[in-house]
Amino acid sequence: MVIKLLWKLIWGDKSNSRRRSRRSSGSLLRWFTPGISVTGVIALVIAALTGQVNLPSLDSLRGSEEPVYEDPLAASLTPEQMASRGYSGKAPIGQIAPVSLVTPVSGREQKNDTSIRIATFNIQVFGKSKSEKPDVMRQLAQVCLLFDVVAIQEIKGDPALPMNGLLDEIASLGGRYDATVSAPQGRTSQTERYGYVWDTDRIDLIPESDYLVNDDLDRMHRAPMVASFQTRVTPTATRKPFRFTLLNAHTDPDEVGSRIGDTPANEMNVLDDVFHSVRMYEYQNTGEEDFILMGDLNVDTQWLLETGRIPNVTSLVGDKPTNTLQTKTYDHILIDAATTREFTGRAGVLDLKAALRITEEQALKVSDHMPVWAEFGVYEIPPR
């Protein structure tokens, strides 16, 4: 029985693979990489006996300075200006509030050649009903055009309706974007899907890199979706395009935070295992070092728990409010600051009301969440 469970943990189960949308996902994540060290075997035995997975970090990681936060479009302060104003880079995570992006959007926004912007956006109940509202779909397209890759949560029903509608609306504004959507996730009849949209002029999806975490132990209400991307820039003898893996997650609000406490069942004490496992698998199979965990986690930094305790992992927006009413922090982008040095120090939350020049009532029709974004350089930077 133990051997059977170990085999399942290592290789996963290929029986539930499904592919969706214009580009698709559903191929399978192995929770563990095929190349397993002695430490990994010990971890697997413990997992088989206890049902808990706690992998050690891949690398011997050293400390790093906390990032400086800045609005990438308004560009009100450069990192050098921040330093001149006395920023030491030593403030605890979450104490430096990112500046909200407030630049009004109209059509396709101009992007620069040296950086990309990656965002996460819970588009509340993104299904047939919302796709039939032209004003809302136009506003969603305007938002997506600000970013090069957007991780989406809460796609409902037939994904072709909202996702193809969004891509068509983006195209009408001059953008060329593509999308990938997961198989439905959830324990109840109210399932939802994850998705990614990206600017095909600036970003490539790595072929066959999009998949769902194989959660045979049913430790999460919705298993996260993974996908790898690469910037479309010309490599040189000394510079390679920035390649990165995104982990798109939407936790169950009843299974995080104070409602369930700091227990093994808390999904924030599961996501750290997912982060370690995906990193191990991708690193040993592709050499990938840059992992970005993002999504609607339904917690502030206090309740990131084990996920927030991964060495060098930082929430790039800290406790900045991310709901449209600007009263709660739910959404995050987390990176390992020691390895993902491509982060430019600019991150924030898109204020839908200010950016779209709409009322709070209109903004709530777009979503009850605001997009969270971060900026990264277009070329690889070796880890420290």
Q: Is residue 270 part of a domain?
A: yes
| CB-CB contact of 344 with 375 (8 Å) | yes
Residues spanned by the domain of 133:
79-377
What is the predicted pLDDT for the residue at 189? Answer: 86
What is the predicted pLDDT for the residue at 243? Answer: 98
Q: Is residue 27 part of a domain?
A: no
Q: Is residue 137 part of a domain?
A: yes
Q: Is residue 60 part of a domain?
A: no
Nearest C-alpha neighbor of 322 from the set 143, 120, 44: 120
Nearest C-alpha neighbor of 380 from the set 165, 230, 163, 210: 230
Q: What is the SS3 assignment for 334?
A: strand
Nearest C-alpha neighbor of 269 from the set 314, 220, 211, 222: 220
Q: Which residues of the chain have pLDDT under 50?
A: 1-21, 23-100, 102, 106-107
Q: Is residue 5 part of a domain?
A: no
Q: Global pTM?
A: 0.77
Query: Is the torsion defined by CA of 268, 270, 273, 275 positive or negative?
Result: negative
CATH classification at residue 124: 3.60.10.10
What is the torsion angle, in degrees rounded to the nearest 10, for the CA atoms of residue 183, residue 186, residue 190 and residue 195? Answer: -40
Q: What token pair was written down for 282?
A: 């991708």
Q: What token pair was written down for 309?
A: 């305790």
Pairing state of beta strands 225-231 and 211-213? Answer: antiparallel
Rounded Cα–Cα distance for residues 244 and 190 (Å)? 31
Q: Is residue 55 part of a domain?
A: no
Q: Is residue 45 part of a domain?
A: no
Query: Is the torsion defined by CA of 232, 22, 330, 253 positive or negative?
Result: negative
Could you report how far apart the first and last alpha carbons of the chain are, in Å?
A: 42
What is the predicted pLDDT for the residue at 384? Answer: 81
Rounded Cα–Cα distance for residues 96 and 318 (Å)? 7
Beta-bridge partners for 313: 336
Nearest C-alpha neighbor of 58 from the set 223, 231, 285: 285
What is the torsion angle, in degrees rounded to the nearest 10, for the CA atoms of residue 155, residue 160, residue 163 and residue 169? Answer: -150
Please name the residues in contact with 112: beta carbons below 8 A apart, sequence gap of 6 or more: none
Nearest C-alpha neighbor of 376 from the set 248, 247, 241, 206: 241
Q: What token pair was written down for 121?
A: 């956006």
Rounded Cα–Cα distance for residues 23 and 19 (Å)? 8
What total number of domains does the chain contain? 1
Q: Is residue 44 part of a domain?
A: no
